[in-house]
Amino acid sequence: MGCSARAYELGRMGFSAIIGVIYSVYPKAGNSVLGKWSFWLYNIGLPILLLSMFMAQIKGLLGFAHIFTFTGGTALAIGVILVIINIYLNVHESTAYNSNNKSS
């Protein structure tokens, strides 16, 4: 595995972990329609994109790999954009998991 592939995996895992924490602390964001769409688009687009990266290494499959690259990359990008919109719309202090149990 090359250095750039490792960096990509660490970045992907970091992004997924951050979103998981946000959706755990703010369950309204995770249970919203945007939260469900962003989850599925991200998690379907990522393996398709990774498959295209593998296929690009095989001679004769480069032209075919571009179909997977555009499909997976588009789904992944739309998923990330929906996460950002979802956080902007649904993450507020009043909707936090323990917002009622604050100590003054």
Identify whether 62 is part of a domain: yes
Between CA 9 and CA 52 the distance in angstroms is 15
- The pLDDT tens digits for 48-77 are 988 988 888 888 888 888 899 999 999 999
If one counts the domains in the chain, the total is: 1
Identify whether 49 is part of a domain: yes
Full domain range(s) for residue 59: 23-93
Which are the contacts of 81, defined by CB distance < 8 A and separation ≥ 6?
none
Residue bearing tokens 């919109």:
85
Identify whether 30 is part of a domain: yes
Identify whether 7 is part of a domain: no
- The pLDDT tens digits for 12-56 are 667 788 888 888 888 888 899 999 999 999 989 989 988 988 888
Q: What is the pLDDT of residue 53?
A: 87
